[in-house]
Amino acid sequence: MTDPIPSTPVTILVPGKFHDHALNRIAGEFRLVAIERADASLVDKAECEAVRGIAAFGGVDAAFIDAFPNLEIIANFGVGYDSVDAAHAATRGVMVTNTPDVLTEEVADTTVGLLISTLRELPKAEAWLRAGKWASQGPIPVSPLTLRTRSIGIFGMGRIGLAIAKRLESFGLPIAYHNRRPVEGVAYTYYRSLKALAKAVDTLICIAPGGAATEKAINAEILAALGPNGVFVNSGRGSTVDEDALAKALSDGTIAAAGLDVFANEPHVPQALLDAPNTVLLPHVASGSAFTRRAMADLCVDNLVSWFSTGKPLTPVPETARIKKQ
């Protein structure tokens, strides 16, 4: 049971495809207006004035925010909110919320799965079996890479980074990390720079947020520091990687392999990464179980319900955490 919401219907705009359970809940608790994409020209003037909340799955830029004079809250479906201009929302007094914690364990599980798939070439092994080669040619050659003896570097030791670290620590592997600041109470080795971290480890896992501060942070220099036995795994954001530099590093032996769940221009994946024999590529599925996506949908809508019934969000992003409901 959720708290009662005011009797005047609150209009919530949902641009683009959205989670069915979230849509049903929004339609049940508010007045839902769905449009094909985040394009304000699809909404007439009176409707623009009615919109008080946006539930977003994709990009919400400054111009879109400005199209709604009575907008109070943007509830982002996902913990990463780099596609929402939260800094601009803050200047407009608009609250932005995201969906932390409820996806942490799922994303950590998937990231470890992707790491092992990349090292042990599990997709290739399955393809070998399905093509009948086990029967016709015998066992597939052993994988050149292994998780054994590896040292792990985590770029982004936040909620998910910590959950990945705990898993890999229990696998008997040493863990180090890079953030802008060391995490209090965490004993893993801290490196002040990403390059120093990459030099110190042979397995680099990116689970840092996207956005200007991390744009192409994984570049040719970092990949060279990781070295020829190096494996790079990204379940953070594709924008954090210089994909041309990564494709080159994979083809010329600068690093050994990469496992990628995220890409700079989704759903488009660079041909060079598709062609590379030493990549395992996933279509942004790290949080993508029905269980976890439903929990994300609930938290996304619970933020709207809480805002309009109590005046407080459940999980505001830092940029708008101080905003008060008028």
Residue 179 interacts with ligand NAP (CB under 6 A)?
A: yes
C-alpha dihedral sign at 199, 204, 207, 211: positive
Would you count residue 206 as binding ligand 8YV (CB under 6 A)?
no
Among 78, 158, 238, 313, binds ligand 8YV (CB under 6 A): 78
Burial tier of 151 (Cβ tally within 10 Å: 0-12, 13-18, 19+):
middle
Nearer to ligand 8YV by Cβ, of 224 and 285: the residue is: 285
- C-alpha angle 292-298-301 in degrees, rounded to nearest 5: 140
Q: Which of 223, 227, 213 is nearest to 243 (CA)?
A: 223
Given candidates 25, 52, 237, 293, which one binds ligand NAP under the rule CB under 6 A? 237
Choose the catalytic residue: 237, 243, 293, 319: 237
- Does the footprint of ligand NAP cover residue 208 (CB under 6 A)? yes
Cβ nearer to ligand NAP, comparing 156 with 259: 156
Distance, CA of 187 to CA of 313 (rounded, Å): 33
**Distance of closest approach, residue 16 Cβ to ligand 8YV, in angstroms:** 11
Is 237 among the catalytic positions?
A: yes
Residue partners of 121: CB distance under 8 A and separation at least 6? 143, 145, 280
Q: How far is the CB of 267 from ligand 8YV (least distance, A)?
A: 11
Residues 6+ apart with CB under 8 A from 252: none
Smallest gap from Cβ 175 to ligand 8YV, in A, equals 22
Minimum gap (Å) between residue 319 Cβ and ligand NAP: 12
Does the bond joining 6 to the residue before it have cis omega, within 30 degrees of 0?
Answer: no
174 binds ligand NAP (CB under 6 A): no
221 is catalytic: no
What amino acid occupies position 189?
A: T
Q: How far is CA 287 from CA 101, 104, 262, 304, in A?
A: 11, 8, 12, 21
Residue, CB closest to ligand 8YV: 78
Cβ contacts of residue 143 below 8 Å, gap of 6+?
A: 119, 120, 121, 125
Contacts of 259 (CB under 8 A, 6+ apart): 114, 115, 117, 118, 231, 232, 233, 234, 279, 280, 281, 282
Least Å distance between CB 77 and ligand 8YV?
6
74 lines the binding site for ligand 8YV (CB under 6 A): no
Least gap, CB of 211 to ligand NAP (angstroms): 8
Choice between 60 and 103, CB closer to ligand 8YV? 103
Of positions 22, 56, 103, 201, contacts ligand 8YV by CB under 6 A: 103
Stretch that binds ligand 8YV, among 28-36, 77-85, 160-168, 182-190 (CB under 6 A): 77-85
Q: Which stretch binds ligand NAP (CB under 6 A): 11-19, 118-126, 132-140, 284-292?
A: 284-292
Q: Would you say 50 or 154 has its CB closer to ligand 8YV?
A: 154
Q: Measured between alpha carbons, how far is 39 from 220 in angstroms, rounded to an integer? A: 37
Residue ranges that bind ligand 8YV, judged by CB under 6 A: 57, 77-80, 103, 284, 287
Residues marked as catalytic: 237, 266, 284
